[in-house]
Amino acid sequence: MDFFREQDIARRNTRLLTALFLLAVLVLIGLTNLILAIAVGLSQSGEQGLVLSGDLLRFDTPTIFAVSACVATVIGLVVLYNWVRFSQGGRTVVEALGGRPVVSDTRDSYERRAQNIVQEIALAANMPVPPLYVLDDERGINALAAGVSPGDAVVAVTRGAMVQLTRDELQGVIGHEFSHILNGDMRLSIRLAAMLRGITFIGDIGAVMLHSGGRRSRSSSRGKNDAGGLLVVGLGLYLVGLLGGLMAGLIKSAISKQKEYLADASAVQFTRNADGIGDALKVIGGYTPGTLVHTARAEELSHLFFGQVKHRLWMMFATHPKLEQRILRVDPHWDGNFIKRAPDHRALEPKLADEMGLNQARRAITTALPAAMLISLDDAPAARQPDQPEAELPELAGAILEEAREPLGAMSLILGLLWQERSQDKQMAFVAAAEIRGLELLVPAKGRELADIAAELRLPLIELCLPTLKTLSEPQYRTFKGLLLNFMGADGQVDLFEWCLYQLVRHYLDPQFITVRPRAKFGKLAQVSGSLAVALGTLAELGLSDTQTAFQAGAEALDLPLAMPPREQLGVKPFGQAIEQLAACYPLLKVTILKALAKVAEQDGKISARELTLIKAIAAVIDCPIPNTMLQAALHNR
């Protein structure tokens, strides 16, 4: 599966969504004018009765334009309000559904297992670990991913999914949700939710008018005379709202179904286990509550979920394909029998994790780490297998993994990666000035512990810490961000690894605490040729091969006439500015950029751990995380 191409398809589907939405709005405007014309005719006909044709003629053009403008404005404001609200991050959407964030140090064994799975898949996808939420009151087996970009994405699962599914089955479901993040589906889904809320809002106005007209007619005889028109308008708008709801269902169905097939297929890529997602679907078919979700907002956001949240009499309104069709796509030899699994009501209550379970969780994460880390594209498949013995696994387990779940521990790990013995006096002075209790003891200890950590382990460690850092308060984050800048400049210079670390933290945490302005979009590589030259030139300076030869290899991959910038223009600051501009390119261009960077890096025979770490950091900063299998194919496509 080409995730880059799927992102481009998602962008094209946005155009289809916009066209369908505008068509629906035009239909609603026409029907609203018709309803108001009839209401005006009723109010003016008196005892003579209604002559429809004449009354419609008296509903003149200026009035039609005024009504149309009013309806369009109301719909537009509702869409804008919901778009702004949903764009605040995936947590806003999930919390509206009643989701509760799973704390990083949870002792509930089911929550801990789900959290570990999210961490494993995020590491395999080369992206920061998104926060996990749980829908506590939902017995159905379901899940969703929400957010506008990977930086503000969250994953939520129902309590029923946590309890009823085995580890492999839950891994398949969560892998399905990760594919929506990587495919670029989330922005489309949020935009769809905002637009459809605007369509159905007309019905809400009608319901309010019906209620108001009913109360007025009961209050007095004069109220009965005045309420007739109001009731007619209210009933008409309510019926228009119902029609809008039907159109909204058709639009959701048209946009969503094919994406579910793609997400099921990519879940197999993530987990390398077709039985996981296949068995999860079979369990749902044999489980009485199925995928039903009862929270009030579920229907409005049904297209975000793993499975259908409500029963549908007509599949034309379904947001998901039939269960049998999805199973056959991932298991063509399925015998047609579902997996029967009775609800375990006692297990729906929180269950404390025992020490054995915690140790198993640590081993699972530790096993996932080497699968997510490629030393080079040539020897990685043979050198690092996910089933290698525990004794050969890297020393990034146990206490360090536990510390990444605590805010103080996560801060100390990130700062420890920037620790320098020669600048320790300055760095300790910065820590003391920050006045974060306990940090002055942890930072030097972690700095010495992580001093010899392999280059390919640094990026996954940072990604593990990011969800915990999202739990900081805004003042705490600003203090921590200031510490990062001070640590980076303690020795008077900033290297590329320090740039990678800071950019990842800033890119994924700034939107949580600081309003970030939207970026312009570039549809052609020629529009960012200057930034491409800086990026290729900086990477060429890192390698062992001839700098000019390496740069030209990258320029040829881009099919652009680029010139190698002077060395004085290739510092960390211009490199950072260049990557920021490249992040504003359309999704399908980004794979070309990554391939060009790989061409530069491989000119000396292979891509080193340092070069690969830089390329992976760039991929994360430009919002283009992909699974390692896709990374290998994208970069190694010779």
Separation between Cα atoms, residue 436 and residue 146, nearest integer Å: 33
Helix 547-558 with 587-601: angle, nearest 10 deg: 150
SS3 395: coil
Separation between Cα atoms, residue 329 and residue 122, nearest integer Å: 25
Q: Tally the residues of the chain.
A: 638
* Cα radius of gyration (the chain): 28
Separation between Cα atoms, residue 163 and residue 328, nearest integer Å: 25
Q: What share of the chain is helix, strand, coil (3-state, %, to 5)?
A: 70, 5, 30
Give phi and psi for 283, each to the nearest 5.
-65, -40
Nearest Cα neighbor of 387 from 464, 274, 272 is 272
Separation between Cα atoms, residue 14 and residue 274, nearest integer Å: 30
Strands, DSSP E only, in 63-151? 100-101, 132-135, 143-146
Give the other-Cβ count within 10 Å of 344's Cβ: 11
Separation between Cα atoms, residue 201 and residue 224, nearest integer Å: 27
H or E stretch at 564 = none
The answer to whether the beta carbons of residues 240 and 201 sit under 8 Å apart is no
Instruction: Output DSSP code: residue 114.
Output: H
Residue located via tokens 């994953």:
155
Catalytic residue among 138, 169, 177, 456: 177
Question: How far does the chain reach from its first CA to its final CA, in angstroms?
Answer: 18
Give the other-Cβ count within 10 Å of 256's Cβ: 22
Angle at 459 between CA 264 and CA 491, to 5 degrees: 160
Separation between Cα atoms, residue 107 and residue 129, nearest integer Å: 19
Residue located via tokens 């070069």:
611
Which token pair is 242?
A: 């119902």
Q: In what order do the strands lie in the sheet with 100-101?
A: 100-101, 132-135, 154-158, 143-146
The answer to whether the beta carbons of residues 104 and 361 sit under 8 Å apart is no
> Residues 498, 619, 455, 394: is their CA dihedral positive or negative?
positive
Query: Residue 398: left if φ>0, alpha if ψ -120 to 50, beta else—which one?
Result: left
The answer to whether the beta carbons of residues 371 and 628 sit under 8 Å apart is yes
Beta-bridge partner residues of 144: 156, 305
The answer to whether the beta carbons of residues 551 and 521 sit under 8 Å apart is no
SS3 624: coil
The answer to whether the beta carbons of residues 116 and 162 sit under 8 Å apart is no
Residue 602 annotated to the active site: no
Which token pair is 222?
A: 């004069």
Give phi and psi for 470, each to the nearest 5.
-70, -15
How many CA atoms lie within 13 Å of 605's alpha carbon, on the beta-carbon side?
2
The answer to whether the beta carbons of residues 636 and 377 sit under 8 Å apart is yes
Nearest Cα neighbor of 295 from 93, 114, 115 is 93
Residues catalogued as catalytic: 177
